[in-house]
Amino acid sequence: MADDTIRRFQLGFLDDGATTDPLACLAGDDGQPRPIRVPRGITIPWAAPGCWYGRAPEPATGPRWIGCNVRRLMPEVGAPIPKPQAKCLAFAGSSRGMPFPWPEILPCQGRLPALICEGEIDALLAVQEVGAACHVITIGGASQTPRPEALAMLAGCPVWLLALDHDQAGNKAAARFVELDPFRAKRLFLPAKDIGEFVQAGGDLKAWLSSEYRRLGLPWPLRSRPADPEGGMSACG
């Protein structure tokens, strides 16, 4: 993932995990405050653009929510996550099912297809590589139910391109989107288990997605840059 993408979406890293002081707002049924326990891993904050986590006044318009997900990492980075631990853990109080990342350009402005990914890493890679060709969205995982905010975003997109994992959970998630709208939902043929694995193996996400647009009969919204007389690339397109 590119450095500017990491900075833009404020990704972080916890090398050894952390535990906060007990918080009254997280008190359980027994009334006792509970801490937030964060595992070692990559932190992925969820917030509407322009939000500063409570330090600034509420925006005048548009939604705002606070939350964070952690993509777990073992001390040996390549080691698998031991079962039954989940590979991702949301901070207590985070709102799941929201559209991530929140679109900075509304779908009604351009009527681009939605590219629905399974997780945040896949979604951020897609924003980085093909964000000009589609509105990228994840709702935080294959088992999540989209909240009204996510459905409202998707309602403005003429086609839902399902770039979900090639596994049982991904197939079930795809079936739920097809059930929501069988006419808009189109399953893509991923050349790997997920977008992350494809990019990690050196795959060209833009070339793959443009071929999927052709397969589905969709117009590719990005123009090629024509060569200039000296053999370079022009600034148009």
Query: In the prediction, which pLDDT does 235 show?
Result: 31
The secondary structure of the chain in percent helix, strand, coil, rounded to multiples of 5, reads 25, 20, 55
Asked if the structure places residue 106 within a domain, the reply is no
Query: In the prediction, which pLDDT does 11 show?
Result: 87
CA triple 32-41-115, angle to 5 deg: 105
Query: In the prediction, which pLDDT does 58 show?
Result: 52
Asked if the structure places residue 100 within a domain, the reply is no
CATH of the domain at 182: 3.40.1360.10
Domain match, 207 and 118 both: yes
Domain match, 148 and 64 both: no
160, β-bridge pairs: 114, 185
Domain match, 133 and 77 both: no
Collapsing DSSP states into helix, strand and coil, what is residue 69?
Answer: strand
Per-residue pLDDT in tens (0 to 9) along the chain, 237 residues: 889 888 888 888 888 877 778 877 667 678 788 777 777 888 888 876 555 544 445 544 555 566 777 777 766 666 666 666 666 666 666 667 788 887 665 555 558 899 999 888 999 999 999 988 899 999 888 888 888 888 888 988 899 999 998 888 889 999 999 999 999 999 999 889 889 899 989 999 999 999 999 999 999 987 654 444 444 433 333
Domain match, 82 and 118 both: no
Give the helix ranges, DSSP H, for 181-224. 195-200, 205-216
Query: In the prediction, which pLDDT does 226 show?
Result: 45
Asked if the structure places residue 97 within a domain, the reply is no
Phi, psi of 228 (to 5 degrees): -85, 170
Query: In the prediction, which pLDDT does 128 show?
Result: 92
Domain match, 125 and 75 both: no
Calpha distance 131→180 (Å, rounded): 24
Domain match, 137 and 197 both: yes
Domain match, 80 and 135 both: no
pTM of the model: 0.78
Domain match, 86 and 118 both: no
Nearest to 129 by CA among 41, 22, 206, 45: 206
Structural domain total, the chain: 2
Residue-number span of the structural domain to which 83 is assigned: 3-90
